[in-house]
Amino acid sequence: MHVDFYGHVRQYHNIKSEIDANIQEVLESGKYVMGPMLARFEKELAEYFGMKHAIGVNSGTDALWLAFLALGIGPGDECITTANTFFATAEAIWFTGATAVFVDTDPRTNNIDPSKIEAAITEKTKAIVPVHLYGQCADMKAIRKIADKYNLYVIEDNAQAIGAHGDGFKIGELSDAVCTSFIIQKNLGTFGDGGAVITNRDDVDITVRKLRNHGSLKRSYHSPGFNSRLDDIHAGVLSAKLKHIDEWNDLRRKWAARYTAGLQEAESIVLPYEAPGYRHVYHLYVIETRRLGDRDKLLSFLNENGIDAKTHYPIAIHQQEGYPWDKSARIVGPLTNTERNAANCISLPMYPELTEEEVGYVIEKVLEWDRANA
């Protein structure tokens, strides 16, 4: 049996008529950039989050970068985040000229550890940037409390957790802006790249709208800005898919529960942790090997047996070659949990269109390896 890591084509075929109809509508309209389909999707996305504004941009990276700029973050400022994330989180901070400050993660959730944040705050600190890693929200109540104490902005990197929520809070309600990615492999992904900033702040909305479109809100009137627009064909794909996102997340949770139940007896791995009261949407189902050095052995075994398992993220940002490239970064405290997760993580296939047979086969092979290596 072969088990793919992604189910993009299956998903397309499942709602092909809806996606094709939206693309055809855009093509027939002749309005492919900043057109009515984009406006429709932005309205739908804002309503989905229960927030006032959603602004489509060309990537999740730009969503972060433009949100930072809209909040006035720039040279001389510091933003506290984690190194246990995709590179773009820190990259967007560096784009502004600000300094990325890395603190360690919670050993169970692998999200930013709120107890590590205050030690990293200086007079230069401007924002906290929690990442909702793998599909589970960071502890936003604790983060918001710290931000209020020190008068800091909070920008959520929500590239992996659309549809998730915490214990008594929704994504967005405790921050200044939410930034998300629509690259194809996300829970809500288009056929290419894309992103959005979602916010309740009118000033952030207006500024990001200007920045994404050459500093313009009205044709021929400009101030310095960029070209970072989500085009209408992508918006049409996303509009069709958004209607299914909760159903798809429920399926991800179903397969995650099946993995967890089936792998309970494995002695050589650690299973994902879902915090009580949280809705984890399992963008990734990440296990960890208990012994250093076992990760690559298990990964090779799975790949050799037709299972397209992968690693996310095996090289933490501060461990990338050449770090820190321009000295615009610092680390506060040991990043013990970050480095452990990077060294031991394996992502098992996870998407709504998996079958019972495929999930069962993955479980069977992980257990087979475990019995031979525990």
| Measured CA distances, 287 to 64, 86, 219 (Å) | 28, 17, 50
CATH fold of 245-373:
Aspartate Aminotransferase, domain 1 (3.90.1150)
Whole-number mean pLDDT of the chain?
Answer: 97
Are the folds of 10-242 and 245-373 the same?
Answer: no
pLDDT at 76 over 90: yes
Q: What are the boundaries of each domain within the chain?
A: 10-242, 245-373
pLDDT at 164 over 80: yes
Distance of CA 117 to the CA centre of its chain: 20
Answer yes or no: are the C-beta atoms of 103 and 129 closer than 8 Å.
no
Closest CA to 287 of 300, 297, 308, 273: 273
In which band, very low, low, confident or very high, does the pLDDT at 327 lie, cut at 50, 70 and 90? confident
Check residue 328 and give its pLDDT. Answer: 78
Q: What average pLDDT does range 321-339 have in this prediction?
A: 91
User: One-letter amino acid identity for 83?
Assistant: A
pLDDT at 261 over 80: yes
What tokens were used for 33? 């950039």
pLDDT at 154 over 90: yes
Q: What is the pLDDT of residues 18-37, one digit of tens each?
A: 999 999 999 999 999 999 99
Residue with tokens 């406006």: 39
Q: What is the pTM of this model?
A: 0.98
Distance of CA 252 to the CA centre of its chain: 15
Q: What is the pLDDT of residues 106-129, one digit of tens each?
A: 999 999 999 999 999 999 999 999
Closest CA to 83 of 287, 324, 299: 324
User: One-letter amino acid identity for 313?
Assistant: Y
The CATH classification of domain 10-242, taken from the options 3.50.50.60, 3.40.50.2300, 3.40.50.1000, 3.40.640.10:
3.40.640.10
Distance of CA 335 to the CA centre of its chain: 20
Residue with tokens 């690259």: 183
Check residue 170 and give its pLDDT. Answer: 98
Q: What is the pLDDT of residues 83-109, one digit of tens each?
A: 999 999 999 999 999 999 999 999 999
